[in-house]
Amino acid sequence: MSNKLTLYNGPTSPFGRKVKIVSIVQKIDLEEKIINVYEADFLDKSNPLRKIPTLLINNLSIIDSDNICLYLDSISSKKSLFPKDRYWQIMSMTSLANGLMEAVLERFMEIARPDQEQSKKFIDKLETRVLRTIKWLENNWKNYNEEYLTMDQIAIACALDYTSFRFTNEWKNDYSNLNKWFNIFLKNDFMESTLPKI
């Protein structure tokens, strides 16, 4: 009997988008449940961090988007998104993309607080981190290979799209190589079908 996979996800989570894309590309059937994580007490018994994405497979819960992506890739018969010969580069660039998502998310949460509770210093720090990371990607990351899809490409595209969605898309004017690749990458069905739902 095959295992039933249930993915707890959110409507706009960039971490969840990464996982959903991997399930599509690697042709893994799963049931996706879109939840409001801020009201999801029931999630605590599987993931006490109460974060999405969380994947349930019978009694096993897989926590953290990277672990879920690696798991889905490992049970797929498709070509791996984590090729062995470039594994560490791909994991590091994926972590960089995760950090970019985190900074954009934290900034968004901070500016949603009442004015008098916000820290301008914290917001500045996050904005600087976001812009410095995108500039670094423009200058250092060149994995634009359309022939072989890898995890770093998916994660970076989700992080850039999330930056445009929640913060700014000015990076598009400043960083033409990245933007050119991004515009082509966005046309993939898996990017179009996983746009944030607001």
Ligand X SMILES: N[C@@H](CCC(=O)N[C@@H](CS)C(=O)NCC(=O)O)C(=O)O
Q: Annotate each residue in 64-103 with x if it binds ligand X (CB under 6 A) or - if it does not, as one string.
A: xxx-------------------------------x-----
Q: Which is nearer to ligand X, 32 or 64 (CB)?
A: 64
30, 7 Cβ separation under 8 angstroms: yes
Exposure of 8 by Cβ count < 10 A (0-12 exposed, 13-18 middle, 19+ buried)?
buried
Residue ranges in 18-47 that form contacts with ligand X under rule CB under 6 A:
37
Token pair recorded at residue 78 = 């498709």
* DSSP secondary structure string for all residues of 82-119: S-GGGHHHHHHHHHHHHHHHHHHHHHHHHHTS-GGG--
Using the contact rule CB under 6 A, the part of the chain among 58-66, 87-95, 119-127, 128-136 near ligand X is 58-66
User: Smallest distance from the beta carbon of 76 to ligand X, in angstroms?
Assistant: 19
**How far is 40 from 96, CA to CA, in rounded Å?**
28
Taking the complex as a whole, the smallest distance from the CB of residue 17 to ligand X amounts, in Å, to 9
Instruction: State in angstroms the smallest separation of the CB of 80 from ligand X.
Output: 19
* Residues of the shown chain interacting with ligand X in the complex, contacts defined by CB under 6 A: 10, 13, 15, 37, 50-53, 64-66, 98, 105
